[in-house]
Structures are given as structure tokens and as C-alpha cells.
Amino acid sequence: MTFLWPKMLWLLAAAPALVAAYVWVLRRKKKAALRYASLAMVKEAMGKGPGLRRHLPPLLFLAAFIGMLMAAARPAAVVMLPSEHETVILAIDVSGSMRAADVEPTRLEAAQAAARAFVADQPRHTRIGVVAFAGSASLVQPPTHDRAAIDAAIGQFQLQHATAIGSGILVSLKAIFPDLEFDLQRAEARQAAAGAGLAPALAPGSYSSAAIILLTDGQTTTGPDPIDAAKRAAERGVRVFTVGVGTTQGEILTGEGWSIRVRLDEDTLRNIADLTRAEYFHAGTASDLKRVYEVLNSRLVLEKKDTEITALFSAAAAALAAAAALLSLIWFNRIL
């Protein structure tokens, strides 16, 4: 836990002073009681005293006082809060290697099923867009709330040649920031229109209104460098969650007179996730892929945030003060 106004913590020095004042008042009452000629007669007349119970309301009030002083210093902590993501872009590899059957029934069909389940679990206010990439990338469904349109876009993937992971990232960024123009050859972004109001760079992972989920099963064979593309996403604060599909040892695909082994480039996918302050997931089976999307859903619906919690301290202090007053009223017929 941290404090936004740490200098205000000096006010806690008042707490020991309050304890000292309470002890002084108790001793003063004790000295006043000694003025009676017979203490035994007084105790007999008063009956059994409250004992330690009389100290509980003041103790609760002291805790409330300390809570209020700490609230004045504006405490902050990392807590789990509902996500503010308004847009999620699903960037899915549709290169020929996605027809491999090591993830049943095929990598592509397993990815489609998992993506549909993920979309169904998203809050209704979240817009979802779909990008398909192979040798190039295209936005097959602009961000929308229409779940039927998203489902249809996922079901219409057509396998193509080559893999351009960098293009998939950049087209996804374009879907999030339509006012930006991306040079796909140099993987550099620039502001397209003056007055768009976008800062040239943000802290990686700090943009909470959108995120990209990129799924692939292979290595980049064409297009811009995926690491350069990830840096562009990091500059905009957008997190790119990466999902690697298939086995790390690779799969041999055959065609008419040719065969090729396709391997998962986990190092690049990890680097993309690290650069953008996101996470990398590996899915070796269809059930793994389903679980990955379930985890991603939880990451996007609830996420850890460094948040001011002054209200919690203030509420706790108010509850303690109310409890102190109530107990004092019930036990001693007075408020403290």
C-alpha cells in the first residue's frame, strides 16, 4: 500500500496524545473517588463495575480516529476491479498451417470454437473486432456490439499462404485508432489528422480502453517485423495478449509434391506480450485453447489496478465510530 499524500501521515502523532489524554482522565476519576470516606461503601452501592468493557468503546473510537487520519493521506493499493475495456480485437492466424490436425479437429476449427465461446462471455458493452492475417492482414469485422456479426466473421475464415504476424498487430491497432495511419513496411505510426488528441506515446499497458488478442501457430514469413509492430502497440499503451497454438516440435504439412514443417515461434510471442505488458499462453490441444480463452476472459473482465482506496478507510472509520457510540449508549446510557 502507498499514500498519495504521505506527509499527512504526521497527523498520526495525534493518536498517542489521545491515548495519553484518556489515561489522564481515568487517573483523575480515580483520585476523585479516593475522596470518599469509605471506598467499600461506594463499591457496594454501585455493584459490579463494567470492568474491561468500559474501555472497548474508546478503543473502537481510537481505531476510527486512526482510520480517518490515514484516509487524509489518500491511501492507494493494487486491487482487482472491473475492467474498463470497451474494445477487444481478435487477431487470428489463417495461414495454411492452421489446417494441421494436431489440435483436433484442426487448429483453425479449434480456434474458431474457442473464439466464439470467448465472445459469448464478454460483457454486452464490449465492442469486439476481428482481424484475419496470413500473408497480409485485413479487418474482417470492425469493432461492434453485434454478436451475430462477430460470430459470422469468425466462421468465414479462408486459409491463405504465408504468415505476417506484424501485419496482424498493426491492422488491429488501426481498428482501435482509426485516425492513425500505419506504414506497414516500416512499422511506424503517425497521427493522420491534426487535433486527433492522441499523445505520441503512452506507458506500455496503460491504455485501458482496448486490448488485442493475437492467435497464431507459426513463424513470421513476410511483412513487418512483429517486434517492431509490438513496439508500436506499446507506444500506444495497448496490451497484446498472444496465444500460441499447436505443438512446439512442429507439424509436417504436405501438399501436391511438397512438404513443410511448421513450428510455433514461442520466443517472439513471449516478446510481444512482454513489450506490451500482457501475457503469453500456449495451447497444445483444443481443451487447452478453450481454457486459455477462459483465462483471457477473466483477465479482461477483472484486472489488477493501482487505485486510491480512501473511501474504504473512511467507511471503516465511520463504522468503527458508530459501533463505539452504539456500545457506549447500550452499556452506559451515554455516547462515549
Domain contains 105 = yes
Cell numbers of 18, please? Answer: 489521545
pLDDT tens column, 273-309: 999 999 999 988 888 888 888 888 777 765 556 677 8
Domain contains 102 = yes
Give the Cα-Cα-Cα angle 69, 71, 75 (nearest 5 degrees).
125
- What number is the average pLDDT over the span 233-248? 89
The answer on 322 and 185 residing in a single domain is no
The answer on 150 and 255 residing in a single domain is yes
What is the domain extent for residue 184? 83-192+199-284
The answer on 103 and 11 residing in a single domain is no
Domain contains 44 = yes
pLDDT tens column, 81-93: 555 568 999 999 9
The Cα–Cα gap between 333 and 329 comes to: 4
The answer on 236 and 276 residing in a single domain is yes
246 or 258: which leads in pLDDT = 246
pLDDT beyond 60 at 34: no
The Cα–Cα gap between 85 and 88 comes to: 7
pLDDT (0 to 100) of residue 195: 44
Cell numbers of 293, please? Answer: 480463452
pLDDT (0 to 100) of residue 260: 62
Give the domain-ending residue among 284, 299, 321: 284
The answer on 64 and 161 residing in a single domain is no
The Cα–Cα gap between 220 and 264 comes to: 10
Candidates 8, 13, 58, 77; CA nearest to 311 is 77
pLDDT beyond 90 at 262: no
| Residue 154 near residue 128, CB atoms below 8 Å | no
Candidates 285, 322, 273; CA nearest to 102 is 285
The answer on 133 and 74 residing in a single domain is no
The Cα–Cα gap between 124 and 118 comes to: 12
- What number is the average pLDDT over the span 156-165? 91
Handedness of CA 93, 95, 101, 102 (dihedral sign): negative
pLDDT beyond 60 at 114: yes
Q: How many domains does the chain have?
A: 2
Domain contains 162 = yes
The answer on 277 and 179 residing in a single domain is yes
112 or 74: which leads in pLDDT = 112
Domain contains 300 = no
Residue 317: partners with Cβ closer than 8 Å, 6 or more residues away: 63, 64, 65, 66, 67, 68, 71
Domain contains 265 = yes
User: Helix/strand/coil (H, E, C) string of 195-220?
Assistant: CCCCCCCCCCCCCCCEEEEEEECCCC
| Residue 161 near residue 218, CB atoms below 8 Å | no
